[in-house]
Amino acid sequence: MKQATNTHYQHLTEKLEEISYLNGVMSTIGWDQEVMMPSGAANARAKQISSLAGVIHERLTDAALGDCLTVLEQTGLDTFDVRQRCNIQEAKRNFDLDTKVPKKLVMAIAELSSKANTAWVTARQENKFSDFAPYLKQFLALKKEWAQCVFPDKDIYDANIDLFERGTSSAEITPIFERLKSELIPLIRTIQAAPFQPDTSFLQGTFPVDKQEALARKISQDIGFNFDHGRMDISVHPFCGGSHPTDVRITTRYKESDFIESLYAVIHETGHGLYEQGRMPGHQDLPVSESLTMGIHESQSLFWERMIAQGQPFCSHYFETIRAAFPDHLRHATPDSFYRAINTCKPDFIRVEADELTYPLHVILRYEIEKGLFDGTMSVDDLPEIWDSMMMKYLGIKPPTDTLGVLQDSHWSGGAFGYFPSYTLGAIYACQFYNTLLKESPDSEQNIATGNFKPIKRWLNERIHSQGRLYTPQELVLRVTGEALNPDYFINYLKAKYTAIYQLS
């Protein structure tokens, strides 16, 4: 590479690193808003976030950055190594997208996100969807305007999906979701009518929060989460945030009446955290090391939560540890009864508490609502009734309140339309990845049964986490598993697992 090119590339990386640092600050104050900020600071925080969003937007759309990218492209991308090419291409894509969005719109979305989140928390607490509805309408208007700016040739909802699942459209998602509905709804109904129902009585009672916290932290650490580069806190809605791979922050929420929810939320968020902590060494402040898509990110949390932690080997390994934490409740339980109990299929109102068999239907419901909101076939004011009707259709239950229904998720309060499909796409990815792991490392389940998670974490670090954005999601899945995304693995896994648990054959 020529010296002049070296200079321009160095100039580019300096600008990209500064943007990364600013985004880290934004992430930290966002985490603070969710976890520690006093409620009275909401308006001030909204202004702070808006101002910082404006500064970041200025950096992203700086004409000097565009000039630098132009010179590098004219030099020829084949003169750079694969990581350098990725940084240039990612920076060019982001620059092209960001320069199409007026600063005023960026700031408006950021400020509305902060205000809407506060409004959502209050509306959720008070069970008043009508108080949140105006914010949702504003967000739809702003996200439609955003979509027209960045992807004028795309369907508006597809433009929003692309933000989370690049290169994926509703035309690809809808057939997969229709197939899942056709397979899962009848299976769930069969399970509900099955004569055998696993005993879950020992999972009911009072479970001290301090015991829950200690157990969750131990298992998170055992799996491989580095608490020197991360921390665990409490929030209304569990999430993984932080400013850098050396500062990864996971959260959960605790209920004294249910230790399974918080424990598996921690395992889920630990999966996200491991992805962030495992990003490409030496390039952690550059685009090439960033996580690929939300679906791939979700595959990593579900890989640990469902493929591993809800499996028999994991339950066998940790059963005595869990029983020691809650001896009065699990005195007469066994590893097998515990495994069956945590894998029961029971339609419920809350997505984040849903079992893996009903969970996809929660996602499909939200996907179809978002699609309807953007194509105009649904209106915001009708959402509580639409939500309740679809819950009856898919899961046979009707939420008694909006808090347990349309108000339960934080995503719309941040304008994250198009995010929900990533959860179920992630489950399909996770199952396919796990199937490949077992083929390549047949002793993996024995390792799980003995608490040896290092080989599995190393496999994920090498095959997925450290690959950053070198490949598209489609290319990554093909490289890791040898075939394209295939929902058959997910469907067959669910059928086999739940047929055995409920003794259906």
pLDDT in tens, the chain (505 residues): 444 468 999 999 999 999 999 999 999 999 999 999 998 999 999 999 989 998 998 999 999 999 999 999 998 888 999 999 999 999 999 998 888 889 899 889 989 998 999 899 999 999 999 999 999 999 999 999 999 999 999 999 999 999 999 889 999 999 999 999 999 999 999 999 999 999 999 999 999 999 999 999 999 999 999 999 999 999 988 899 999 999 999 999 999 999 999 999 999 999 999 999 999 999 999 999 999 999 999 999 999 999 999 999 999 999 999 999 999 999 999 999 999 999 999 999 999 889 999 999 999 999 999 999 999 999 999 999 999 999 999 999 999 999 999 999 999 999 999 999 999 999 999 999 999 999 999 999 999 999 999 999 999 999 999 999 999 998 999 999 999 999 999 999 999 999 999 999 7
Helix (H) or strand (E) holding 251: strand 247-252
CATH fold, domain 170-203+292-501, is Neurolysin; domain 3 (1.10.1370)
pLDDT at 461: 97
Helix 259-277 to helix 294-302 angle, to the nearest 10 degrees? 130
Backbone phi and psi for residue 230, each to the nearest 5 degrees, phi listed first: -170, 170
Residue 165 known to be catalytic = no
Task: Indicate which residue of 34, 165, 261, 269 is catalytic.
Answer: 269
* Strands across the sheet containing 240-244: 230-234, 247-252, 240-244
Name, in order, each residue with C-beta under 8 angstroms of 19's C-beta and a sequence gap of 6 or more: 56, 59, 60
pLDDT at 75: 87
Domain positions in the chain: 3-134, 170-203+292-501
| Strand 230-234 versus strand 240-244 pairing type | unpaired
d(CA 61, CA 54): 10
Please work out, in degrees rounded to the nearest 5, the angle formed at the alpha carbon of residue 498 by the alpha carbons of 493 and 501: 130
Name, in order, each residue with C-beta under 8 angstroms of 266's C-beta and a sequence gap of 6 or more: 216, 217, 219, 220, 232, 238, 250, 252
d(CA 477, CA 434): 12
pLDDT at 76: 87
Cα–Cα separations (whole angstroms), residue 390 to 287, 361, 365, 396, 489: 39, 10, 7, 9, 27
- Pick the closest to residue 275 from 38, 11, 466 (CA basis): 466
Q: What is the pTM of this model?
A: 0.90
Residue 226 φ/ψ region, left for φ over 0, alpha for ψ in the -120 to 50 degree band, beta for the rest:
beta
